[in-house]
């Protein structure tokens, strides 16, 4: 289910909900309605969330291969005690 708002807060909340389930790539988050995932990830890191990035090749909808970031949320005090965790 894609997000349908440009609210920074709501996009951050949505990304965290997705990352609690499993890692997501930049392409996956874009397909879910987050236009520029790296900005939201940086904002979450600035709030204290431990989000690591690794890279892999993914093919986009036009068939082109790209090196994309994959975001992994690691548990820390912030991620265990934040208000998005619902």
> 12-71: per-residue pLDDT in tens?
999 999 999 999 999 999 999 999 999 999 999 999 999 999 999 998 889 999 999 999
Q: Residues 30, 37: contact at Cβ < 8 Å?
A: yes
Decide if 64 is inside a domain: yes
Decide if 65 is inside a domain: yes
Decide if 1 is inside a domain: no
DSSP type of residue 49: -
Decide if 18 is inside a domain: no
Decide if 3 is inside a domain: no
Q: Quickly state the pLDDT bin for 1 (edges 50, 70, 90).
A: confident
pLDDT: is 26 or 86 the higher one? 26
Rounded Cα–Cα distance for residues 50 and 9 (Å): 18
CA 84 to chain CA centroid, Å, is 14
Decide if 41 is inside a domain: yes
Domain extent, residue 69, equals: 24-80
pTM: 0.86
Decide if 2 is inside a domain: no
Q: Residue 39 phi/psi, 5° resolution?
A: -65, -45
């Amino acid at each position: 289910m894609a997000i349908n708002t440009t609210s920074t807060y709501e996009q951050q909340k949505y990304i965290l909900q997705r990352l609690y389930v499993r890692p997501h790539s930049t392409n996956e988050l874009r397909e879910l309605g987050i236009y520029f995932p790296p900005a939201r990830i940086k904002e979450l890191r600035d709030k204290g969330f431990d989000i690591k990035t690794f890279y892999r090749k993914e093919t986009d909808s036009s068939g082109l291969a790209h090196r994309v970031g994959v975001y992994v949320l690691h548990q820390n005090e912030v991620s265990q005690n934040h208000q998005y965790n619902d």
